[in-house]
Structure 1
Amino acid sequence: MIHRTLTPPRPLAGLLASPLLTFLALLGLCSAYLQGALTKLFDFNGALAEMAHFGLQPAPLFAVGVIAFELAMSALVLSGVLRWLGALALAGFTLLATFLAFRFWELPVGMERMMMANGFFEHLGLVGAFVLVAIADRAKAGNRP
């Protein structure tokens, strides 16, 4: 079998190699966590209600922990300092939150279940993306421990 590598045209290859595009893509990936943390920070009562809604008690401790975690792990991903760690932490957090918040299998068949299932699988996509960020970061570092 003949394998041919399809390479992107030069302008596209240059764009894909751009540190700015990499940063913007990582910012997009982290945007929900940054927005979520800032929303919780500026509406702490809403954050407490959200924690209580999901049965996370004591709600103030969980709210502060989630805010700090989302900001810190996003900062690792965006700064490139221990990017793999921040990406894996956000992947794990997202996986846990997905099973906590998007239990579509508990709903009767219908529009609400379909929307919940969509959210569930979209979040699994985020988990996969963060794992790929961690893999790419370790590959870039030459797999050094």
Structure 2
Amino acid sequence: MTKLLRAPAMACLARTLLTLPFWVSGVSKLLFFDAGVVEMARAGLEPAVAFNIATIVVQLAGSALIILDRGAWLGAGALGSFTALTILLVHRFWAIADEPFRTIALHVSTEHLGLIGGLLCVAVLAVRQEQPDRARHKPPAHGRPEVRR
């Protein structure tokens, strides 16, 4: 099983699946631009055209950086920040009085927090992967060889 998890194809699949909600949304907003503008206006985000364009750029560029594993930490940070902002601007469950809309927004917000956690894992792993190998094998300060367990 660990051999399968170490396979580069598995890592690419994981990155692609994690970013699926973003690139599907970005492609949809690009192909059906007017519908994306209406969605932004309905959420109170004006100017709606500019918000739709910014959303497309962040979702597609962030996803590409993660999937291609090039600056994945940057893509994860952009998508994580974007997702946190959607909770604050769109899925404001604390400001919704009517049920079931309040509960639905709460569930969407908690799912978004889970997605942010996954993106944070991508950023942490990407930064660790970029560290030079010598930093991981630095001799201990006391001069004795390190015992690996």
Indicate the TM-score class for this superposition, using the shorter chain for normalisation. Answer: 0.7 to 0.9
The answer to whether the aligner puts 1:78 opposite 2:67 as a matched pair is yes
Correspondence for 2:13: 24
Which residue identity is paired with 1:72?
A
Q: How big is the shift at 1:39?
A: 0.9
Quick one: distance in 2 between partners of 1:105 and 1:67? 27
Distance 2:37 2:52 in 1: 6
Alpha-carbon distance, 1:50 to partner: 1.0
- Paired position in structure 2 for 1:15: 4
One-letter code aligned to 2:114? G
Alignment CA distance shift 1:106-1:68 (3 Å): same
Q: For the structure 1 residues 110 and 62, does the alpha-carbon distance in structure 2 shift closer, same or farther, using more than 3 Å as the test?
A: closer
Bigger shift: residues 21-30 or 107-116: 107-116
Shift of 1:109: 6.8
Which of 10, 20, 29 is equivalent to 1:40? 29
Alignment of 1:1-145 (within 5 A): 12-108=1-97, 110-142=99-131
Q: Secondary structure at the match of 1:56?
A: coil
Inter-CA distance 55–32: structure 2 relative to 1 (3 Å threshold): same
**Alpha-carbon distance between aligned partners in 2 of 1:59 and 1:80, rounded to the nearest angstrom:** 31
Q: Which amino acid aligns with 1:53?
A: R
TM-score (norm 1): 0.85
Aligned length, in residue pairs: 133
Amino acid paired to 2:4: L
- Counterparts in 2 of 1:54 and 1:109: CA distance versus 1, 3 Å: closer
Cα shift at 1:80:
1.0
Q: Give me the CA root mean square deviation.
A: 1.6
Residue in structure 2 matched with residue 3 of structure 1 by the alignment: none
Tell me, in whole angstroms, the C-alpha distance in 1 between the residues paired with 2:104 and 2:80.
22
Q: What is the TM-score of this pair, normalised by structure 2? A: 0.83
- Large movers: runs of 4+ above 6 Å: none
- List runs of 5+ in structure 2 lacking aligned partners: 134-149
